[in-house]
Every structure is written in structure tokens, then in C-alpha cells.
Structure 1
Amino acid sequence: MGVPAVVTIGVFSDTHVGCSIPKAIGEKRKIAFQKAFSQAIDGFIREKVDYVIHTGDLFERRTMSPADSVFVKSEFQRLVNNLKNVKILIIRGNHDGTIENNALDYVRHPLAEYFIVLGEKTLIGEPELFDDGKIAVQGLGYTAYPAKKIKEKCDLIGELFSNSKAEYKIFLLHAFIEHLTTIQYVPRHQVISPELIKKLKANLVICGHQHQKHDLYKINNTYILIPGATEAVELSDETTHGYFILSLDKEKITATFHPITPLHRILNIKVESREKKDEKWFVDEAKSRILDLLKANATQKIILRVILNGLIEGDKYLVEEELQRFIANQTEYSLIYFEIKNNLNVPFAPVEIPALETPATIYPQIFSILPEEKQIEAVRITETIERMLEESASPTTGLLTDAKRRVLLERWKKIFETSEKEEKACQ
């Protein structure tokens, strides 16, 4: 059928509705993430888009509050009320839960035909394609091993795209793209290579998970777009966040970035010296730079972090105390949160410290005794345990209830019982 003159798509990702970092101003930050979400919806309505695409982490956590769920549903309903025929295409991100416990289930319902979740069936090898003759869209819900999953499913994905008459074939991911990721030390199994992208047979790949945007980029014959987040999830992130408007016609793809005006201005000041300095030097340097930034952003609500690096001759905590007193007196500015990251050290002989390993590198080592497919399930269970401990552990003991532990134990038993049977069968 081909596409009409122009197909317009609103693209956003990593909206993290419900995010409350830092906890000291958690409610204020929740509002900031909602405001950012609403600005994106406003932009899609203003541009009269034909489709909206979201590439994962709609919510901050699977166990979002009822208020967060209602907010998202009402905003999507507002979009649909203004754009009658719009379709919302979305995949699950790691913060949205798992296949079995998916936060997106709280948004979709039988009457919301406009809200289409993709990528879950693809994970288990079943065909799943949105194709209205204008665009064909597939996706992959979040998995800790996206490269492996794409290798396994690329023939199915490629066949569905090849059989489609749509002019544009779009694939949605929640992972990292080789050469485009801004995150250091990402495990290899979480990175998608150009060779794998080519096997998808898509015109366009849109990828969430990375919070810093990357403009439209071409690898071989496939365009890549990383929309980034709509609001800063980490206080160290001062990059501009927003959404994209894609225009597709028979000749080209254009992607226009629209910045979102944040509710809070996040500022980071790094005060450091390669040479040994006294307490007064660090205090004076920090005060001067803090005042300059406060004056330059006097009309905004400010979140301020000061990072102190270097060698100090004296007491590093006296520097911190003096800066806290100084900030307390800056009442004419709307400073809603202040944080000091004190990395100052007294001079000492250098000691080589080995790099700390992360769960992403440790888990594959721990579970290497298992067959590869069991390793993936073991990592999933471990991630589930971490999430459950964070969300529902007893405040007194720090443990889960017996009922919750029993469910997890049954999952562990399945893995090891199956592995033992397979081992005996091979003997």
C-alpha cells in the first residue's frame, strides 16, 4: 500500500513516571516527571502526530502508585481525545517489570484499542507485528540478554518485515547500541551490534534505555534513533531532555528534537585541584562558583550538587560544614535541594585498588555452571529478588515474607532440578 505523503510519529522514552530521586524532595521530583510527560503529550497533540512510540520505562517501578497509573492513563486519554485515530505503540523497559508482572498491564484494557504493547511475544518466539499498511512495527521487551535474543529471533523478525507491504519497518528496543552508548563498561551481552541490526531488516530502529539522546544516525541502510529520557533520572545528568517528531515519506526520514522545559534546574559544580590545597581554598572556590550559578538561574527552582575532588591539607568535613552554612543563608534563591559529594583526601602514598565488579559482570560468572538458557532465568530471579527486597522487605528484619520466599524458592528449584536431570541424561 505504501505510505501517504507524510507519516508523523511522536517518539519518547524513559519517562520514569513515579521517580522520586532524591528522596528528600521525592514528591517534588514526582511532579517534575509528570510535568515532563505532559509536555511531551502536548507536543504530540500540537504536531498532530499519526502515531506515538514509547521505547520503555514508562514507569519508575513495576509497583507504581495508583496515582501514577491514573495519571498516565488520563494523559494518554487526553492524547486520544485530541487525535482521534492515533495509535500508541510501546515496549516494556526494565523498570516496567517482567513478562509475568508487567506495569503496562495497568494501562492497557479492552476498550483502549489505541494502546498496543509489543515485544513480549517476540521474546518467546511468537510472531507479533503491528502493520496497518502505512508502517510495520515490531519490538523486543526488555531482557538482560538482548543480543542473544535478537540472534535467536532475527529470522522471525526479518521474515515478518519482508512480508509486509508497508514502506517503513520500525523495530523498538530497550537496550544499548554499539558505538552510540554513552554508558561506560556495559556488558557485551547488553549491546546490539551493527551486524545484528542489519539482520532485523528494519528501516528504522528506535532504542530506549539510554537517558542521553542521540540524533538520527545511519548504520548500513538502517536509521537509529535514541530519544533519551524526558527528565533527569540521575542528579549528575545535566543534558537536555525531550522528545522527537519523526516525519516519514517515501524519500527520507527526518527527526526533529523538541526540548522539554524541566520543572527543576539541575546544576553540578565540580571543585577540584591536582595540587594539595587548604580548607579555605576549597571553601572560597566553591562559594564563588555557587553564587555565580545561583545568580545566573535566579528565576528557576534549583537542585544543586557540589563535587569536591583533590588533596586537602586539613579537615575535609570542615569544608562541608562551611558550605552547608553558606547555602542556608542563600534564602533569596529558590534552592530546593543541596548535596555535597565530598571526595577530598589527605595526601597518602598511592595504592592500586582493583576495579569493583558490578552485578552485571558478577552474575554471569556465578551462574556459568548452568546451561545458557538457565543462566538467563537465574539472572531474572536474582533481579526479581533485588527488586522485591527494595520494594517490600520488612522494615524490621529486611527480609521478605515466607510466602514471597516460597515462590522464589520454587523458581530456583525448577532451574536446578531441570539442570540435574539434563546432566544425568548426558551421562
Structure 2
Amino acid sequence: MARFLHIADIHLGFDRYDNKQRTQDFFHALKDVIQTYAIDQQVDFVVIAGDLFEHRTIQPATLNQAQICLKKLQEAGIPVLAIEGNHDNRPYGTKTSWLQYLADWGLLMLLEPGNVSQGQPFYAAWDARTRRGGYVDLDCGVRVLGSVWYGASAPKAIEQIAAAIQSLPAGPKHTVLMFHHGLEGQIARYQGALRYADLLPLKQAGVTYLALGHIHKNYAVEDWIFNPGSLEANSIEESSYQRGAYLVELNDSGVQANLKSQYQQRSVVRLRMTTQGQESLEEVESAALAMVQQAVTDGTIAPTAQPIVELRIDGHIGFDRLELDTRQLQQQLQQISNALIFLLKFEADASTFVTPIAEDANRSQIEQEVFLDILTANNTYKKRAVELAQGLTALKDQQVDGRSETELYAFVETLLTSEANPQPSSTPV
């Protein structure tokens, strides 16, 4: 029997939202997972199926985070086997990467196929002296093989991998292959996903556990394909995904993989408010503040945890979108919730009214209807829309007549403060 931990898409150095504390979350998640599900569980080995890092070029602090976690495993005598993902693979034309650097320091085994065009075998056994190789046979009775990021050429690469596996010397009963790619049908808007049929050659070649990465959502297929998902949510949308780390046991009965999600993660709360178009600007602001306050009161938002909070305001509004000071409202909402990051998404559309205009309408009639539509759509002015539309027409006429700015300003002031429509003092053009 062999037991191991399967993780992927760790993304150390994550820097979205430009928040240092959020960047630390990804380090704390990895450190907690390693302690709780690898060291405390005394697993035989750990596999990292790509994207240990967020970027190919990393900051010293990010490298230090990786070293801290990997040294904990090294001190516990637990080998780490890894591959590069699309985020941390070496740039084209270069011969090394930060994962290779970690391998050279003995903190992990970076398992990669050889360069066949240069006469190297596709899969060579891991050489502890050179710290190079494509596969390793572990003492616990498991063969682990690596791969690289193939992108669009993945289906063809799978055929090559399957053929190379079948040409290897006989090995342990269980074969684990690390592969950084996604399977179709798991998430929307993902181009280039593999079909299940594309992966079948690997099963036929003897792979008993396909350790995937790349898609940040957990899924498993037919007890041999497993994707744990990212350790932390890389976006608000991903917060709804089930994800974590697989604690796996390989025995004579087959594969038992259990997804583990009880480790340190930043909580994410998503709220939604839909406006009907009848509310004033002040009422929309008050409703947003009340919604977040209620979420705090009922425990949906735990201020002491400094969560990430999103409030999405959609629907319709009866005022100009620019009238809402979203920055000020966002600051107020963040203060109420004590959120580490508060995202206010104001997506409500301004109500529109389009009055049918007769084909034989003259210019004056068309202008009047346009003014009327604009005013009717505004919650502040819609009750006086007819009156104000007439006033705007009169204002236009006065401007055309050459009235002074002082006279025009006085007319507008009277128009907005009077209950009755002021009589125009000029003859319409």
C-alpha cells in the first residue's frame, strides 16, 4: 500500500488585487496543506502537477516561500515530485526554470521527458547525481512519471507518452503520471480542453492514476483521472468551485482518493442586489449599505476573518450611472464588512424610454419627445417630465434668440424650483 498527496495550481506569488496579504494567503494555504495532509498523515510522497508559481519570473520572497514548504517535506523524509505548468514553465529557448533550480538544490524531483531529437530517451530513470530524469520508481511500490506543458499539442503528446511508457522496463504495480491539462466539460469558456478519448491511450499504457492540474476546479473521472483544483481561489468566480488536495491510497483494490479542503483559506462572500428602476440614488446607496450590514449581522460575513466580499448591483436605475460615487460607496461597504478586499460591481442599466415618433413629425416635435424620454427615464425628474421637457425647449429657443448667460441661468433656476412650467418669453423657432 502507498499513500501520497496530490496538489496542483498553487500559484505562489499570486498578485492580483495588488494586496500583499492576499499574496500571503497562497503561501499559508500550501504550508497548512503540507503539514496537515502530508507530514501529519505520513504520506510516502507528494506530487505537484504544475503551476507551483504564478509567474515564470518570481520575486525572492516567493522563492523563499517555496523553499520553506519544500524543506518541511525534506526534513520529514517525504520526496516531492513535480512538473511545470503553463504559469511556471521555462520561457522558450531557455534551459532552466525556478523549478529546475529547486530540483538542483534537492528540494524536489522535476520529472521531464528527454529531448528525443538530440538522441535522448523520452523517459530516462531519475538520476540522483545529475538531478535529471523523466520517471522514478519509489520504494513504496509506485512509478511516477512526468511531462511538460504541451498546450495545443497535448493530444499528439499523449500518444508519444503512452508509447514511451510501454517501452519502459517492467516496474511497480501502480503508475502515476503528472499531466498539466484540462478535460472538456468541466468549466465553461475553456478552449483546447482534452476529450476523454484523448486520454485513453494513457490508461491502456498502464497509468493507474492520472494526476492532472490546470483547471482550478476539482473533478474526477472513472477512478483514474483526478484533478484537485487550486488550493486557493484565484478569482471571485472560482470561490464557488470545490477544490483542495487529494489524499490518495493505492492498494490491491485500486485507487482511493479523498479530496481534502479543511485548511487555511481566505473566505469569499458574494452578494447580489437587483434594483427595479424606481429607487432614487439615495435609496440605492442605503439598500447596499443595509444589505452588507445584514450579512454581517446574520454571520454571512465574519468581519474578524477579513473576507473578500463582492457586491454586484444589477437591474435598472432611474438616474445617470455616473451620479453614483462607487468609490465612496465601496469604501463605506469595506469599512462595515472589514473586508480585506471589497469589490463593488455596479452593473445596473439606466432605464430607457423610447416614444414612437410619427413619420411626419417636425423638428420641434422630435426635440420635445427626445427631452421627454430622457426625463421620464430619470427617477428625480420623471414626475415633471412633460413640464420640464417644455421648459428645455423654451430654453433652447432663448439661447437661439441670443439671450445672455445670466438670463438663461435665471430661467433654468426658475424652471427647476417652480411647481408650474414658466411661460417662455420668446417665440419658438
Fold match, TM over 0.5? yes
3-state SS in 2 of match to 1:67: helix
Q: 1:91 and 1:328 mapped to 2: Cα distance?
A: 40
Query: Does structure 1 residue 126 correspond to structure 2 residue 122?
Result: yes
Give the alignment of 1:351-362 within 5 angstroms: none
Deviation of 1:241 after TM superposition, in Å, equals 4.0
Deviation of 1:349 after TM superposition, in Å, equals 9.0
Q: 2:116 and 2:68 mapped to 1: Cα distance?
A: 29
What is the percentage of aligned positions where both structures have the same residue?
A: 18
TM-score, length-scaled by structure 2 = 0.69
Query: Deviations 1:186-213 (Å, cap 9, x if unpaired)?
Result: 22xx322222211012111111111122
3-state SS in 2 of match to 1:176: coil
Seen in structure 2, the aligned counterparts of structure 1 residues 31 and 223 have a Cα distance that, compared at 3 Å, is same
Query: Deviations 1:219-264 (Å, cap 9, x if unpaired)?
Result: xxx6111111111111332235431210110112111222144453
Query: Deviations 1:81-134 (Å, cap 9, x if unpaired)?
Result: 12x2x221111011103263522123111x51x611123538977223222361
Residue matched to 1:88: 80
Deviation of 1:294 after TM superposition, in Å, equals 2.7
How many residue pairs are counted as aligned between the two chains?
A: 327
Letter aligned with residue 207 of structure 1: L
User: Which residue of 65, 71, 80 corresponds with 1:77?
Assistant: 71
Query: Does structure 1 residue 18 correspond to structure 2 residue 22?
Result: no
Assess if the C-alpha contact under 8 Å between 1:283 and 1:322 holds in 2: no
User: Which residue of 170, 175, 178 corresponds with 1:169?
Assistant: 175
Seen in structure 2, the aligned counterparts of structure 1 residues 212 and 328 have a Cα distance that, compared at 3 Å, is closer
Query: Does structure 1 residue 40 correspond to structure 2 residue 36?
Result: no
Letter aligned with residue 132 of structure 1: L
Residue matched to 2:150: 143
Q: 1:317 and 1:256 mapped to 2: Cα distance?
A: 50
Superposition RMSD in Å: 2.6
Q: Which has the higher contact order (CA 8 A, sep 6+)?
A: 1
Query: Deviations 1:376-427 (Å, cap 9, x if unpaired)?
Result: xxxxxxxxxxxxxxxxxxxxxxxxxxxxxxxxxxxxxxxxxxxxxxxxxxxx
User: Which residue of 204, 207, 216 corresponds with 2:209?
Assistant: 204
Residue matched to 1:268: 270
**Greater share of residues in strand:** 1
Residue matched to 2:344: 340
Assess if the C-alpha contact under 8 Å between 1:309 and 1:342 holds in 2: yes
3-state SS in 2 of match to 1:237: helix
Moved more, 316-325 or 304-313: 316-325
Residue matched to 1:299: 304
Query: Does structure 1 residue 228 correspond to structure 2 residue 223?
Result: no
Residue matched to 2:3: 8
Residue matched to 2:166: 159
Residue matched to 1:245: 247
Deviation of 1:313 after TM superposition, in Å, equals 1.4
Deviation of 1:154 after TM superposition, in Å, equals 3.9
Q: Answer with 1 or 2: which has the greater Rg.
A: 2
Residue matched to 2:189: 185
Q: 2:334 and 2:85 mapped to 1: Cα distance?
A: 40
Seen in structure 2, the aligned counterparts of structure 1 residues 165 and 285 have a Cα distance that, compared at 3 Å, is same
Assess if the C-alpha contact under 8 Å between 1:51 and 1:87 holds in 2: yes
Give the alignment of 1:278-289 within 5 angstroms: 278=279, 279=281, 282-289=284-291
Deviation of 1:315 after TM superposition, in Å, equals 2.6
Seen in structure 2, the aligned counterparts of structure 1 residues 65 and 321 have a Cα distance that, compared at 3 Å, is closer
Q: 1:321 and 1:68 mapped to 2: Cα distance?
A: 31
Q: 2:292 and 2:263 mapped to 1: Cα distance?
A: 22
Q: 2:71 and 2:327 mapped to 1: Cα distance?
A: 49
Unaligned runs of 5+ in 2: 124-133, 355-429
Q: 2:175 and 2:254 mapped to 1: Cα distance?
A: 13
Query: Deviations 1:49-83 (Å, cap 9, x if unpaired)?
Result: 0010111110111111112112212221111212x
3-state SS in 2 of match to 1:96: coil
Assess if the C-alpha contact under 8 Å between 1:123 and 1:140 holds in 2: no
Letter aligned with residue 338 of structure 1: F
Assess if the C-alpha contact under 8 Å between 1:122 and 1:153 holds in 2: no
User: Which residue of 292, 307, 312 corresponds with 1:290?
Assistant: 292
Letter aligned with residue 186 of structure 1: Y
Residue matched to 2:89: 97
Q: 2:34 and 2:6 mapped to 1: Cα distance?
A: 10
Seen in structure 2, the aligned counterparts of structure 1 residues 199 and 241 have a Cα distance that, compared at 3 Å, is closer
Q: 2:314 and 2:100 mapped to 1: Cα distance?
A: 46
Query: Deviations 1:254-296 (Å, cap 9, x if unpaired)?
Result: 11222144453222212235x5443455434433331233331
Assess if the C-alpha contact under 8 Å between 2:6 and 2:245 holds in 1: yes
Deviation of 1:303 after TM superposition, in Å, equals 1.6
Letter aligned with residue 236 of structure 1: E
Query: Does structure 1 residue 327 correspond to structure 2 residue 321?
Result: no
Residue matched to 2:409: none
Query: Deviations 1:348-385 (Å, cap 9, x if unpaired)?
Result: 599xxxxxxxxxxxxxxxxxxxxxxxxxxxxxxxxxxx
Seen in structure 2, the aligned counterparts of structure 1 residues 155 and 322 have a Cα distance that, compared at 3 Å, is closer
Assess if the C-alpha contact under 8 Å between 2:212 and 2:226 holds in 1: yes
